[in-house]
A and B are shown apart, each in its own frame.
Chain A
Amino acid sequence: MSFAPHTEEDIAQMLGALGLRGVDELFEELKATLPPGDVPEVGQTGEFELRRQLWDMARLNGRPDQTPCFRGAGAYEHYVPAAIPQLLSRGEFFTAYTPYQAEVSQGTLQAMYEFQTMVCELLGMEIANASMYDGASALAEAALMALRISKKRCLLVSDAIHPQWIDVLRTYTANVDAEIVSIPAREGITLPAAVASAIDENTAAVLIQNPNVFGIIEPIREIGYLLAEQSALFIVAAYPTTLGILASPGEAGADIAVAEGQPLGIPLSYGGPYVGLFGTKLEHVRQMPGRISGAAFDGKGRRGYVMTLQAREQHIRRERATSNICSNQALCALAVTIYLSLIGPSGLRTVAEQSYSVAHRLAERLSALPGCSLAYDAQFFNEFVLELPVSADDVERELWNHGIISGLPLGRWWPNHKNEMLFCATEIISDAAIHRLVAAMEEALS
C-alpha cells in the first residue's frame, strides 16, 4: 500500500514536461557518485494483514487496561476523559505544522496561548512556553537557563529528584561550564538546613522536585524563604496533578518551574510522547527556551495570535539561541489544555484528593503486611516507599505471575535498597484492585 497518487499517465505527463523518459533519470548524478543502497527487503503489507500482525505483537504487551499497575515514578495513570482523543483526532489539529503562518494557524496558536495561561496558573508563574519534550528535559533546560542568567556554575541538585531526570540533566550539562553538587535527602526529604549548608557564592540554582521521587512532599515554601535572601535561583519540578492541592512552585518563590505534563490527559504511552511544562518570571522571558504564542491585532483590529519573541530561537539566533528546540510536543500540549478545560479547578482537586486518599489507604494495608513497613516517616502524596522483608525483584516477579504490576523495585537505582518498592496509586485504582494486590503480596511474602 502506498499513498502516492501518481498513475502511470500522471508520471508520463510530468516526465514529458521535463523531457525525461524515466524517474531514474532524476537520480543520474547520484548514481554517478554513489553505490546503490543495500536497503533491507521489507515487503509491502496491506492494511488488513498488517493490522492482524500488529495485533499479535500488541498482545505481547498483555492487556494493560486489565493489568492493575501500582507504579508511578514519573508516569502516572489518571483518567483520560473520552473527549480528549476525539478532539485530538481532528485532522486540522494533528496534521498541522508549526504555526509559522499565523493567519491559517489560529487554532494551534490560540490553543498554545490557552495552554500557556493554564501552565502559569498551575505552576503559579508569570509566563510559560508552549511546551518542551518532557519534564526531564524541561528541568535540564531550566538548569541551563539558570546558568545563563546567574553567570555562576554550581547547580545544587536534591538527591530526591527522579534519578533518570538527574541523568538527563547530566547529559545536557556535560559540555557547559557547570558543576552538579548533590543535596542529601536523608529520611527521604530535602531539609532547608541541608540546602542552607550547601549554598555558596558559586551557586547558580537549587533544584528540588515536589513531590520527590519517593512521593514525599518537600518543604518548598521553607526552601523558598531561604533562597529569597540569596542570589541563587530556585527551580522546582512539580507533579502537576498535585497542584490542585499542594503549594505551587510560584507560591514557594520559584524562579523557574517545570513539570511532566503527562498526568494531565496523556496516556502512559510506554514513556512517550509526553510534554514538558515550563514557566518562569516575566523578567526572564528572553532567556526562556521554547516557543511562545502571543496575542496580536490585525489591520482591522481583530485579535489573533502569533509566535512571538522568535529572536530567542534557533532559526534566528542560531548558535546563540536559548535552546536548539524546534518541534516541541504541541499535540500533547493540546491534550493537556483540553484536559484542564474539561476537569476545571474542582475536578483537578478531586483527582488529587482521590489519588492521595487511595494511596494512603493502600499504604495502610501494605504496611500492615508481615515484615513490611513504610521506609520514611515524612508526609507523602500518592507515592510511598515500602520496605519489604525480602528482595523486591522477587516480589515483582511473583506479582506479575498474578497479572499485577507491582510497585517499582528501587534496587535498580540504589543497589543497597534492594528490598524497597515504590508504590503509587491514583483515582483509577479500585478497591478490588487493592484487594487483589494485597492478597497477591501476602502470598508472595509467605
Chain B
Amino acid sequence: MNSATVFEKSRPGRGTSFISGHATPVCADLSPKALRSAPPRLPELTEGEVVRHYTNLSRNNWGVDVGFYPLGSCTMKYNPRLAEQIASWPEFSAAHPLRPVRAAQGFLRIMYETERILSRLCGMARFTLQPAAGAQGELCGMLIIRKHHATRRDRRNTVIVPDSAHGTNPATAALAGFKVVTCPSSDEGLVDIGALKKLVNDDLAGIMLTNPNTLGLFERDIREICYIVHNAGGLVYYDGANFNALVGRFRPGDMGFDVVHLNLHKTFGTPHGGGGPGSGPVGVVEKLEPHLPVPLITKGPEEFELEEHRPLSIGRLNAFAGNALVIVKAYIYMRLLGTAGLREVSGNSVLAANYLKQRLSEVYTPSHPGRCMHEFVLSAERHKNEAGVRAVDIAKRLIDLGFHPPTMYFPLTVPEALMIEPTETENLETLDAFVDALLQIDREARESPEMLHNAPHETPVGRLDEVEAAKNLNVRWQAEPSANTSHSQDASKRKDGQ
C-alpha cells in the first residue's frame, strides 16, 4: 500500500517501551472531571515499523539533496552539514531557554556575533533575532513602523505594496492594522514612480518593497522611491527574500531602507525543512532601535545579557528568544563562507540566473528583456495561445525529466508565470541539463502536447484533484472510511461533537 497512513499500519498492543512504566496508577488522587474519558487514538507500532514508514515517506519527497530545485524567491541552496552536526550538540540542543544567562553565554555570544554581522551586511544599526520566520519578521517590522509613528503622535494608517509583491506583504500590513494600497508596476516591471507619487499622502505610514523585486529586476530608482516616501513622512521596509542577489556587495541601508527582514532559511543556508522552521531576523536604523522587540541581546561589561525591559519596544513576539538553533546554523554558514564567500554567493547566483535566462529566452518568453538578478520570470502565455500548453503543464513535465518545477503563477502581474532561481550551488552541467529539458518540453508542446497535459507520468501519484479535495474535505484520518470525508459546507450546519 503506497500511501497507507501510519494509522492503517497500527495494531493494538504493538509498540516499543522507551521508559519503564510506573506500577501504580498514580493519578488516582485527581478528580475524575480533570481526567480524560478516552485515550487519544494514536498509532501503535514498533520502532522498526515507524522507521520504515517514515523512511518510505521520505522517498516520495524531493529535496535540494535530491536534485535541482529552482523555486523563484525561495533560494533553495545547499545546506551545509557542519551546521546540522553542531546544532545537534547537547550544549546547544539540550539547553533550557530560561536557564540563567550566565549559563547560556555560548548561545548569547553566537547570537550577538550574528547580530553584528547581519547589521553590517545590511547597513542597519541593530537586529532582533526573535522572529520565527519571514512572515513574523514582516509583522515585527510593520509593528515597529506603527510604533514609530504612534510615539510621535502621527496617525498614519496606509501602507503601499507593489502589485508584484508576495502575498505575505499585504497580509502582514493588514495584521498590523494598516490599510493596504497597491502601487502598479511600469511596463518595465518596476515600481511606477508616477503612480507612486499620486498614492503618497500624509496618511502614509510606509511602503514594503523587495529589491531586486519578484521579477528578479533591480529597482534602479530605489533611492528616489525612498526619498519620495521619506519626504511624505513614511518609512521604507525591505522584504529580504531576495537578498541572495546582493549579499556581501550592496546593503539595503545604503538604498534608504529603514527596516529590513532577512530569511535565514533562504540567504543563509539553513534548511527549509519541508516548510519550516525558518528564522526572520529584523534590522532597523538607529532611530527605530527603541522599538525592537524584547528580549534583545546586549554585551555587558563581563558577559552577554538579555535585555527584557525596553519601554518603547513593540513587545514580545516569541515565548523565548527566537529560533536559536536556526540562528546557530546561519552563524556557522556565515563563518564558513566569510565575506569573500558571501560575495561569491551573490556573484554566482546572479551569473547562473542570467546564463539560464539567456539560453532559455530563445524559446520561451521572458517577462522582461535584458539582464536580471538572481532570478527571472518566463511567461508561458505564447505556449498557451499557440499550443494550449500552460505553465502548470510545463512545470509538471519537468518532474518527469528529473527537475523540481520553478515557482508557478507568481508574481500575479505576469500571465502563466514561471519564476526560476537557480542559486549559486548548482553546477554548470545541472544548469545545462535544465535548459535541455525545457527545450525538449517546448518541442513536445508543439508535437505531442498530451505528454504535457497528463504529466507527471513517473511519480507515485499524478495530478491530484484539488477541487474535490476542497469540496469534500478530508484533513484527518478516521477509522471508518465513510467518516473520512465531510462536506466542508456541512460544517456550518453542525454544532458540536466529533
Using Cβ atoms and an 8 Å threshold, which residues of chain A touch B246? 30, 37
Task: Judge whether A197 is part of the interface by a CB distance below 8 angstroms.
Answer: no
Interface residues of B in 238-295 (CB under 8 A from A): 246, 248-251, 254-255, 265, 269, 271-279, 293
Task: Judge whether A354 is part of the interface by a CB distance below 8 angstroms.
Answer: yes
- Residue in contact with B44 in the complex, picked from A6, A69, A251, A345, CB distance below 8 Å: A345
Using Cβ atoms and an 8 Å threshold, which residues of chain B touch A85? 88
Given contacts A60-B109, A116-B476, A244-B39, contact A105 B61 (CB under 8 A): yes
State the Cβ distance, B458 to closest chain A Cβ, in Å. 9
Provide the bound-state CA to CA distance between A106 and B36, in Å. 34
Provide the bound-state CA to CA distance between A317 and B170, in Å. 9
Using Cβ atoms and an 8 Å threshold, which residues of chain B touch A40? 116-117, 120-121, 339
Against B, the Cβ 8 Å flags (1 = close, 0 = not) of A326-347 are 1111111010011011111111
Given contacts A60-B106, A244-B40, contact A285 B491 (CB under 8 A): yes
- Residue in contact with B107 in the complex, picked from A13, A63, A270, A347, CB distance below 8 Å: A270
Say yes or no: B277 contacts A294, CB within 8 Å. no
Nearest CB to that of B78 among chain A residues? Answer: A3
Nearest CB to that of A35 among chain B residues? Answer: B254
Nearest CB to that of A343 among chain B residues? Answer: B18
Say yes or no: A330 contacts B276, CB within 8 Å. yes
Provide the bound-state CA to CA distance between A24 and B354, in Å. 13
Q: Which of B14, B358, B463 has the most C-beta atoms of chain A within 10 angstroms of its own C-beta?
A: B463
Using Cβ atoms and an 8 Å threshold, which residues of chain B touch A281? 491, 496
Interface residues of A in 395-429 (CB under 8 A from B): 396-397, 400, 405, 408, 412, 427
Say yes or no: A334 contacts B317, CB within 8 Å. no
Using Cβ atoms and an 8 Å threshold, which residues of chain A touch B273? 93-94, 96, 329-332, 334
Provide the bound-state CA to CA distance between A67 and B123, in Å. 40
Say yes or no: A318 contacts B76, CB within 8 Å. no
Say yes or no: B319 contacts A379, CB within 8 Å. no
- Residue in contact with A308 in the complex, picked from B168, B405, B459, B469, CB distance below 8 Å: B469
Task: Judge whether B95 is part of the interface by a CB distance below 8 angstroms.
Answer: yes
Against B, the Cβ 8 Å flags (1 = close, 0 = not) of A39-55 are 11111111100110110
Using Cβ atoms and an 8 Å threshold, which residues of chain A touch B201? none
Say yes or no: B94 contacts A91, CB within 8 Å. no
Provide the bound-state CA to CA distance between A167 and B314, in Å. 10
- Residue in contact with B22 in the complex, picked from A97, A313, A314, A350, CB distance below 8 Å: A350
Say yes or no: B352 contacts A14, CB within 8 Å. yes
Q: Which of B96, B132, B324 has the most C-beta atoms of chain A within 10 angstroms of its own C-beta?
A: B96
Q: Which of B120, B170, B428, B464 has the most C-beta atoms of chain A within 10 angstroms of its own C-beta?
A: B464
State the Cβ distance, A351 to closest chain B Cβ, in Å. 7
Provide the bound-state CA to CA distance between A93 and B63, in Å. 7
Provide the bound-state CA to CA distance between A79 and B2, in Å. 31
Interface residues of A in 272-293 (CB under 8 A from B): 272-274, 281-286, 291-293
Provide the bound-state CA to CA distance between A285 and B425, in Å. 40
Task: Judge whether B105 is part of the interface by a CB distance below 8 angstroms.
Answer: yes
Provide the bound-state CA to CA distance between A176 and B355, in Å. 47
Say yes or no: A17 contacts B355, CB within 8 Å. yes
Nearest CB to that of A37 among chain B residues? Answer: B251
Residues of B within 8 Å of A, CB-based: how many?
Answer: 208
State the Cβ distance, A285 to closest chain B Cβ, in Å. 6
In the complex, how many residue pairs between chain A and chain B have their CB atoms under 8 Å apart?
688
Given contacts A294-B470, A294-B473, A309-B473, contact A96 B324 (CB under 8 A): no
- Residue in contact with A260 in the complex, picked from B17, B319, B348, B490, CB distance below 8 Å: B319
Given contacts A4-B424, A103-B461, A106-B57, contact A39 B106 (CB under 8 A): no
Using Cβ atoms and an 8 Å threshold, which residues of chain A touch B174? 319-321, 324
Task: Judge whether A230 is part of the interface by a CB distance below 8 angstroms.
Answer: no
Say yes or no: B132 contacts A69, CB within 8 Å. no
Against A, the Cβ 8 Å flags (1 = close, 0 = not) of B210-238 are 00000000101011000000000000000
- Residue in contact with A331 in the complex, picked from B143, B277, B359, CB distance below 8 Å: B277
Task: Judge whether B396 is part of the interface by a CB distance below 8 angstroms.
Answer: yes
Provide the bound-state CA to CA distance between A41 and B278, in Å. 26
Given contacts A18-B355, A91-B66, contact A127 B42 (CB under 8 A): no
Given contacts A300-B462, A304-B464, contact A272 B322 (CB under 8 A): yes
Say yes or no: B65 contacts A63, CB within 8 Å. no
Given contacts A117-B476, A379-B31, contact A330 B275 (CB under 8 A): yes
Say yes or no: B469 contacts A306, CB within 8 Å. yes
Say yes or no: B319 contacts A162, CB within 8 Å. yes
Task: Judge whether A196 is part of the interface by a CB distance below 8 angstroms.
Answer: no
Interface residues of A in 149-164 (CB under 8 A from B): 162, 164
Provide the bound-state CA to CA distance between A190 and B2, in Å. 49
Given contacts A107-B58, A134-B318, contact A93 B146 (CB under 8 A): no
Say yes or no: A3 contacts B39, CB within 8 Å. no
Task: Judge whether B99 is part of the interface by a CB distance below 8 angstroms.
Answer: yes
Task: Judge whether A113 is part of the interface by a CB distance below 8 angstroms.
Answer: yes
Say yes or no: B248 contacts A37, CB within 8 Å. yes
- Residue in contact with B19 in the complex, picked from A79, A134, A247, CB distance below 8 Å: A79
Which of B46-54, B191-199, B375-383, B443-451 touches A?
A: B46-54
Provide the bound-state CA to CA distance between A137 and B61, in Å. 29
Using Cβ atoms and an 8 Å threshold, which residues of chain A touch B123? 37-38
Interface residues of A in 88-130 (CB under 8 A from B): 89-108, 110-111, 113-114, 116-118, 120-122, 124, 126-128, 130
Task: Judge whether B155 is part of the interface by a CB distance below 8 angstroms.
Answer: no
Say yes or no: A316 contacts B325, CB within 8 Å. no
Task: Judge whether A250 is part of the interface by a CB distance below 8 angstroms.
Answer: yes
Say yes or no: B98 contacts A408, CB within 8 Å. yes
Given contacts A60-B109, A324-B171, A345-B42, contact A42 B473 (CB under 8 A): no
Say yes or no: A297 contacts B55, CB within 8 Å. no
Using Cβ atoms and an 8 Å threshold, which residues of chain B touch A348? 40, 42
Say yes or no: B96 contacts A69, CB within 8 Å. yes
Provide the bound-state CA to CA distance between A58 and B89, in Å. 8
Task: Judge whether B486 is part of the interface by a CB distance below 8 angstroms.
Answer: yes
Say yes or no: A295 contacts B484, CB within 8 Å. yes
Provide the bound-state CA to CA distance between A332 and B39, in Å. 24
Provide the bound-state CA to CA distance between A161 and B92, in Å. 28
Interface residues of B in 466-498 (CB under 8 A from A): 466, 468-470, 473-478, 484, 486, 488, 490-492, 494-496, 498
Provide the bound-state CA to CA distance between A326 and B165, in Å. 14
Against A, the Cβ 8 Å flags (1 = close, 0 = not) of B125-161 are 0000000111110110001001000000000000000
Task: Judge whether A221 is part of the interface by a CB distance below 8 angstroms.
Answer: yes
Say yes or no: B90 contacts A63, CB within 8 Å. yes
Using Cβ atoms and an 8 Å threshold, which residues of chain B touch A74? 97-98, 319-320
Provide the bound-state CA to CA distance between A207 and B318, in Å. 18
- Residue in contact with B318 in the complex, picked from A101, A136, A162, CB distance below 8 Å: A136
Interface residues of B in 340-396 (CB under 8 A from A): 340-342, 344-345, 347-348, 350-352, 354-355, 358-359, 371, 395-396
Say yes or no: A283 contacts B427, CB within 8 Å. no
Provide the bound-state CA to CA distance between A81 and B462, in Å. 35
Using Cβ atoms and an 8 Å threshold, which residues of chain B touch A214? none
Using Cβ atoms and an 8 Å threshold, which residues of chain B touch A133? 132-133, 136, 277, 318
State the Cβ distance, A138 to closest chain B Cβ, in Å. 10
Provide the bound-state CA to CA distance between A223 and B47, in Å. 40
State the Cβ distance, A406 to closest chain B Cβ, in Å. 9
State the Cβ distance, A6 to closest chain B Cβ, in Å. 6
- Residue in contact with A110 in the complex, picked from B3, B47, B314, CB distance below 8 Å: B3
Interface residues of B in 172-207 (CB under 8 A from A): 172-178, 180
Nearest CB to that of A48 among chain B residues? Answer: B82
Nearest CB to that of B102 among chain A residues? Answer: A400
Say yes or no: B462 contacts A64, CB within 8 Å. no
State the Cβ distance, B335 to closest chain A Cβ, in Å. 5
Provide the bound-state CA to CA distance between A122 and B339, in Å. 48
Chain A to chain B: the 9 pairs with minimum beta-carbon distance, closest first = A271-B320, A91-B65, A175-B177, A271-B97, A331-B273, A107-B61, A44-B338, A273-B277, A330-B275
Known: A116-B475, A314-B170; 5 extra A-B contacts, CB below 8 A, are A4-B425, A44-B337, A295-B474, A318-B170, A329-B277
Q: List 12 A-B contacts (CB under 8 A).
A: A6-B427, A100-B407, A101-B404, A111-B57, A130-B275, A267-B93, A269-B324, A271-B324, A273-B132, A321-B167, A338-B50, A346-B39
